[in-house]
Amino acid sequence: MELTKLVGLGLNQIFLTVMDNIIDQLCKTDGLITPVDTRPQSFFNSIYQTFQRAEKVAGGPKNRFYSTGGYNIKLRFAGSALIPFITPALEHLSSQPTSSPSLTVCLWDSASTRTIMPPPPWSMDDYITRGEIRSYNEGSIRTSYYPGSGVLNILNINLNVAVYWIRNAYQIPYYESGSPLLPILHWWMCNHGRQLVHAGAVGTAKGGVLLIGKAGSGKSTMALVCLNSELLYVSDDYCLITTNPEPYAYSMYNSGKVNAEDIKRFPFLAQSLSNPSRLETEKALYFLYKHFPDKISTGFPIRAILLPRVTGFPLTRLKRISSSACLLALAPSTIFQLPGAGHKTLESLSEILKQVPCYILEMGNDISKIPYAILSLLSEH
Partner 1 sequence: MNSSMRYLMNKPKVIHEVFEDEVVIINLDSGSYYSVDKVGAEIWRLIEGGATVGKVVELTTQRYESNEVNIENVINQFLEELQREDLIIHNEEIEVVTPKGPEIKVEAQQTAKRPDFEKPILHKYTDMQELLLLDPIHGVDETGWPRTKPDFSDGNG
Q: Which is it for the CA torsion 318, 319, 321, 326, positive or negative?
A: negative
Complex with partner 1: residue 70 or 121, whichever CB lies closer: 121
- For partner 1, give the closer residue by CB, 116 or 270: 116
Confirm if 160 and 201 have CB atoms less than 8 A apart.
no
Instruction: Give the shortest CB-128-to-partner 1 separation in angstroms.
Output: 8
Please, which residue, 270 or 328, has the CB nearer to partner 1?
Answer: 328
Give the binding site for partner 1 (CB under 8 A): 116-120, 124, 127-130, 145-150, 167, 171, 173-176, 178-179, 198, 214-215, 236-238, 257, 278, 281-283, 322-324, 327-328, 331-333, 335-337, 342-343, 346-347, 350, 353
Which lies closer to partner 1 via its Cβ, residue 71 or residue 145? 145
- Look at phi and psi of residue 216 and say left if phi exceeds 0, alpha if psi is from -120 to 50, else beta: left
Q: How many residues does the chain have?
A: 381
Measuring CA to CA, which residue among 223, 252, 226, 227 is closest to residue 239? 252
Smaller CB separation from partner 1, 102 or 275: 275
Give yes or no for a contact between 242 and 191, defined as CB atoms under 8 angstroms apart.
Answer: no
Q: In the chain, where does DSSP find H-type helix?
A: 11-29, 39-57, 83-86, 110-113, 174-178, 182-190, 219-225, 323-335, 343-353, 370-380
Output the smallest distance, CB 215 to partner 1, in A: 6
Q: How far is the CB of 52 from partner 1 (least distance, A)?
A: 18
Shortest distance (Å) from residue 238 CB to partner 1: 7
In a 3-state reduction of DSSP, which class is residue 75?
A: strand
Measured on CA atoms in the order 334, 374, 365, 276, is the torsion positive or negative?
negative
- Minimum CB separation of residue 63 from partner 1 in Å reads 27
Nearer to partner 1, 16 or 108 (CB): 108
Determine the Cα–Cα distance for residues 36 and 27; give it in Å rounded to an integer: 7
Phi/psi for 80 (5° steps) reads -100, -10
Distance CA 209, CA 215 (A): 18
In the complex with partner 1, the residue whose CB is nearer, 214 or 319, is 214
